[in-house]
Amino acid sequence: MKRFFALIATAFLVASISAQAETVLRIGEGSIGRLDPHEATLVADSILMYNVYDTLVFPSLDGKSTEMKPHLAESIEVNESGTVFTVKLRPNVKFHSGNTLSSEDVKFSMNRIIELNTGFSYMFDGWVKSVDTPDPLTAVINLTNPYGTFYSALARLSIIDSKTVLAHLGKGDFGDLGDYGLDWTRKNSAGTGAYKARYHNTQERSELVKFDDYFLGIPDKAPDLVRLQYGQTDPTVIALFERGEMDIARSFIASETKKQLLSVKGVTIASEPGIAMLFMKPNVTKPPFDDVNCRKGFAYALDYEAMMLQEHVTDKIRGAIPAKSPMPSSHPGFDPTMPPIKQDMAKAKEFMAKCKYKPGSHKIQITWISTVAKEERFALIAQVNWKELGWESYVEPIVWAHWTQKVRGGAGTAPMIGQVYTFARIPDADAYLYNIFHSSRHGQYSASEFFADDQVDEMLDKARTMLPSSKRDALYAKILRRVQDLQATFTGFEVINTYPRSDRFSWPNMEKPNMNTGLMGGNHIFRLMEMKGG
């Protein structure tokens, strides 16, 4: 009898221990992760940003739509001219420090990102005139000009705890504000997010734990601890999955590795469409690409299916879909009626016949970024395709730093063909297209085509001043048709990011309809995940 009771007691003990056991979600990410949200640019930075910090707006996660909705804000009103945004904040939102969110934090965050001039500051710099704080829960953001993207751009302004930052100022270049607290915020969290940093080393890993006072609450089944590990090789990722020591790998590992991982028990692939596209960018100032017929000929000759094949994990798990225009299909303004971009050798020859240059007149330089092995394959595919039209080319690896420097040097130094994966920072047509096709952006990596067209410039300038509306969307559709007609770039395909993942948790952003935020790093929302058996 004694033994029986001892057994029951042990069973209860084991049950209670397992009920309390800490659940851990393990993620492998890129080479580094930066914790200060105002310096964020990479995927890993954005993942940290959206879990440790909150923004005034965020895509709705109700499963009905992904429309941008007030998040830290209770409401946002815009005046008729689109130059004044009145933000009413939610009351009683707590920072990790215990401080309460106020309009001063909004003002401080806006000034900080603009003055630091890093990360996503370009979305606000030059547009924001001032931020007024008539009361602790109201912030009035005054713009210099109407800016239709501004509402969506607020999804990239993390609100930081001003009191905590001001208490941790170090020596720096910002006058009385010293280093703007950078030395501290690079290692510690000062947000309102569902998770706070327990440990962070940019080169090694971040450990995030639940923030119990999160204003939206965190379900018990959400992971207690999230560990982001930086800089893993493909063999390491395979070994970690095999041992059950990894839950999500980064999407940038080789397709072959992903395929191999599918043979590991419990590993599947999560798909994230609508975030990125691959471009093969011609320098349209250099012959033969300065002739629109040549460009069209080259574009029609490209074997897009062969290129997409490099992205697919299996026949069923596809890593790319045909593009219809140079903008992800998830963005407002995308025109689904445009035909998919595909190879057509008959048309390629037809346009090439109208080209003012003849094969042999120029040798085409096709560059690929030496750290992105896939791009070499794209370059080789293009080389073979263009050879069919009689054009000789050479394939040249180049490091990213060198390529961007050449592009910044101007049209004369920019390579003839460069390849770039372009990610959506926010799901907005202006944020995507302006940086590629507006002539004022020449010299930026995204505008390495050096494309210039007065009509396109005019339409882009007009569209960005319009508030989100069907009229604005129609204008963007018109812009897309125009740049496609002029073959301003070679759009490769729309990328579907594919993440190898374990079956130890559920991932609503990837699994349920209408939960894809369309934001780079915005689909790794840990509080929505549920650990199984935890």
Partner 1 sequence: MLGRYVIRRSVAALITLFGVSVLIFFLARVMPGDAAGIALGESATLEQIAAYRERHGFNEPLHVQYWVYVTDVIDGDLGESLYSGSKVLDDLAFTFPATLELVLFSTILMISIGIPLGVLAGRFRDGYIDNFTRVFSLLGVVTPSFVWAVFFLLAFAFYLKVLPVMGRLSEGAVAPPFVTGLYLIDSLVDGDWATFRDALSHIIMPGVALAMASIGQTTRMTRANVGESFDKTYIEFARAYGFKEFRTAAVYALRPALIPILTILGLDIAIKFGSAFLVETVFGWPGMARYGVQVILFKDLNAIVGTVTVIGFFFIVINLIVDIVVAFVDPRIRLGALAQ
From 99, 118, 285, 329, residue interacting with partner 1 (rule: CB under 8 A): 118
Length of the chain: 534
For partner 1, the binding residue among 158, 232, 385, 487 (CB under 8 A) is 232
Size of the site for partner 1 (CB under 8 A): 54
CA distances from 95 to 72, 131, 247, 417 (A): 12, 21, 28, 47
CB nearer partner 1, residue 134 or residue 170: 170
* One residue of 62, 67, 77, 125 binding partner 1 per CB under 8 A: 125
3-state secondary structure at position 3: helix
Contact 416, 282 (CB under 8 A): yes
Q: Which range in 62-70, 228-236, 270-278, 497-505 contacts partner 1 by CB under 8 A?
A: 228-236
User: Element (H or E) spanning 386, and its range?
Assistant: helix 373-388
Among 67, 74, 135, 173, binds partner 1 (CB under 8 A): 173
Nearer to partner 1, 36 or 291 (CB): 36
Q: How far is the CB of 186 from partner 1 (least distance, A)?
A: 5
- Tell me if 257 contacts partner 1 by CB under 8 A: no
Q: Whole-angstrom Cα distance, residue 523 to residue 228?
A: 15
- Shortest spacing between CB 494 and partner 1, in angstroms: 18
Nearer to partner 1, 91 or 410 (CB): 410
Q: Is 441 in the site for partner 1 (CB under 8 A)?
A: yes
* Strands ordered across the beta sheet of 73-78: 73-78, 84-89, 138-143, 128-135
Backbone torsions φ then ψ of 240, nearest 5 degrees: -65, -40
Instruction: With CA atoms as reference, report the closest residue to 22 among 223, 241, 248, 246.
Output: 223
Q: Residue 62 half-sphere exposure, CB side, CA atoms within 13 Å?
A: 8
In Å, how far are 413, 418, 484, 523 from 364, measured between CA atoms? 14, 11, 22, 39
- Asked if 352 and 294 touch (Cβ cutoff 8 Å), the reply is yes
Alpha helices by DSSP H, 490-529: 508-511
Can residue 455 be called a binding residue for partner 1 (CB under 8 A)?
A: no
Tell me the closest approach of the beta carbon of residue 431 to partner 1, in angstroms: 9
Q: Which is nearer to partner 1, 90 or 402 (CB)?
A: 402
Residues numbered 61 to 90 that lie near partner 1 (CB under 8 A) are none
* Contacts (CB under 8 A) with partner 1, residues 371-390: 371
Residue choice 236, 257, 285, 293 for contact with partner 1 (CB under 8 A): 236
Given 23, 29, 37, 39, the residue binding partner 1 (CB under 8 A): 39
Among 20, 203, 263, 470, binds partner 1 (CB under 8 A): 203
Determine the Cα–Cα distance for residues 195 and 284; give it in Å rounded to an integer: 47
Query: What is the residue whose two structure tokens read 């710099």?
Result: 125
Q: How far is the CB of 466 from partner 1 (least distance, A)?
A: 21
Alpha helices (H) along 243-303: 255-261, 292-301
* Nearest alpha-carbon partner for 264 in 243, 234, 285, 291: 243
Torsion of CA 108, 173, 431, 292, to 10 degrees: 170
| Burial class for 11, CB neighbours closer than 10 Å (0-12, 13-18, 19+) | exposed
Q: Select from 60, 94, 97, 183 the one that contacts partner 1 (CB under 8 A).
A: 183
User: Using the rule CB under 8 A, is 242 a contact of partner 1?
Assistant: yes
Q: Is 235 in the site for partner 1 (CB under 8 A)?
A: yes
- The answer to the question of residue 41 lying near partner 1 (CB under 8 A) is yes
* Binder of partner 1 out of 73, 106, 218, 240 (CB under 8 A): 240
Q: Does 405 bind partner 1 (CB under 8 A)?
A: yes
Candidate residues 32, 309, 317, 486; the one interacting with partner 1 per rule CB under 8 A: 32
- Examine residue 245 and tell whether it contacts partner 1 (CB under 8 A): yes
* Cβ 211 vs Cβ 197: under 8 Å: no
Residue corresponding to tokens 């007009």: 462
* The binder of partner 1 chosen from 446, 452, 457, 530 (CB under 8 A): 446
Strand, helix or coil for residue 401: helix
DSSP conformation letters of 144-180: SS--TTHHHHGGG-B---HHHHHTT--S-SSGGGTTT
Give the residue, chosen from 90, 94, 186, 377, that forms a contact with partner 1 under the rule CB under 8 A. 186
Q: Which of 53, 108, 120, 124 binds partner 1 (CB under 8 A)?
A: 120
Stretch that binds partner 1, among 90-98, 181-189, 294-302, 373-381 (CB under 8 A): 181-189
Per CB under 8 A, the list member of 86, 257, 444, 465 interacting with partner 1 is 444
Peptide bond into 288 cis (omega under 30): yes
Give yes or no for residue 439 binding partner 1 (CB under 8 A).
no
Identified binder of partner 1 from the candidate list 23, 55, 229, 517, rule CB under 8 A: 229
Closer of 240 and 348 to partner 1 (Cβ): 240
Phi, psi dihedral angles at 290 (to 5 degrees)? -80, 0
317 binds partner 1 (CB under 8 A): no
Identify the three-state secondary structure at position 203. coil
By CB under 8 A, tell whether 448 contacts partner 1: no
Residues 6+ apart with CB under 8 A from 268: 262, 500, 501, 503
Residues of the shown chain interacting with partner 1 in the complex, contacts defined by CB under 8 A: 24, 26, 31-32, 34, 36, 39, 41-42, 117-122, 125-126, 173, 182-183, 186, 201-204, 227, 229, 231-233, 235-236, 238-240, 242-243, 245, 371, 399-402, 404-405, 408, 423, 425, 435, 441, 443-446
